[in-house]
Amino acid sequence: MTVSKLLNFRAAAEELNYSQSTISDHIRNLELDLNTKLFDRIGKKVFLTDCGQKLILDWL
């Protein structure tokens, strides 16, 4: 949720007091478990995919 709110892995890691690599690992594992891509990473920018947006809306 924090990455989707901030659209920034580093900022989410800082807010949650985790390392950026831990956040990246958690997202990668979630994407593998769900068998879908939740974020598009273009350079240093992060965007929610359609599936990522649906997951957030379903969760809320």
CATH number 1.10.10.10 is the correct assignment for the domain at 2-59:
yes
User: What pTM was computed for the model?
Assistant: 0.84
Q: What are phi and psi of 43, to 5 degrees?
A: 65, -125
Domain residue limits, the chain: 2-59
Q: Which two tokens stand for residue 49?
A: 């995919």
Summarised one tens digit per residue, pLDDT across range 4-59 is 999 999 999 999 999 999 999 999 999 999 999 999 998 888 999 999 999 999 98
What gap in Å lies between CA 43 and CA 57, rounded to an integer?
26
